[in-house]
Amino acid sequence: MARTREFDPATALDAAMKVFWRNGYYATSIEDLVEATGVSRYGLYGVYENKHGLFLAALDHYMTTVVGELASVLHQQDASLDAIKNFVSRLGEFAAKPSGRIGCLLWNTASEVAPHDKVAARKVAEFRTYLSTGFEAALCTAVARGELSGGFDSKREADFLAGVVQTLAALARSHAEPRVITNFVSVSLGTLV
């Protein structure tokens, strides 16, 4: 007779995501995950196979919850210059707060795990593409509305802005002073002319 699952995988996944986000992949032990989720090692392995499987599921969960909530504004049909400025400014404000010092799970993964893990690297690349295409669409709308000059290179700027988002996460994770983060955001948004 099959045993019934005694935990909610979605709740456990959310808790695991937060541990990986705070500690990183390599510094997170299975014991950390058991403690945070309240689920035994065998329960977690029964659903996710191993720590790596749980980590990849946590990255997907991060994309659909945290990233989906924040970056979806760039993918709205009427997104334009204001949407970009608000999005980047919000990220900068978060990065400057003590709670923002954990950075971004996907960008943290880009430097910690992706160089050694093809699946994680693919997820990071998908995130970068998601950001770039959102920025590019909003920039094209801004050009069409006359908010930016007709010769504005939307693709080039979109790639730059995706890099800005990645750098903001690195600044936050390295505990840069709020002034540094504010200045970085201000100069970066100054390219939108």
Q: What is the dihedral of CA 67, 126, 181, 176, to 10 degrees?
A: 100
pLDDT at 5 over 80: no
> Nearest to residue 41, comparing CAs of 29, 28, 57, 30?
30
Task: Return the ∠ at Cα 189 (arms to 188 and 192), rounded to 5°.
Answer: 115
Cα-based distances in Å from 116 to 20, 25, 122, 191: 17, 12, 11, 34
Class of domain 60-189: mainly alpha
pLDDT for residue 150: 85
pLDDT for residue 110: 94
Q: What is the mean pLDDT of residues 108-121?
A: 95
Cα-based distances in Å from 92 to 87, 112, 118, 179, 186: 9, 22, 29, 10, 9
Q: Where are the domains of the chain?
A: 60-189
Residue with tokens 């100069």: 187
Q: What is the mean pLDDT of the chain?
A: 93
pLDDT at 4 over 80: no
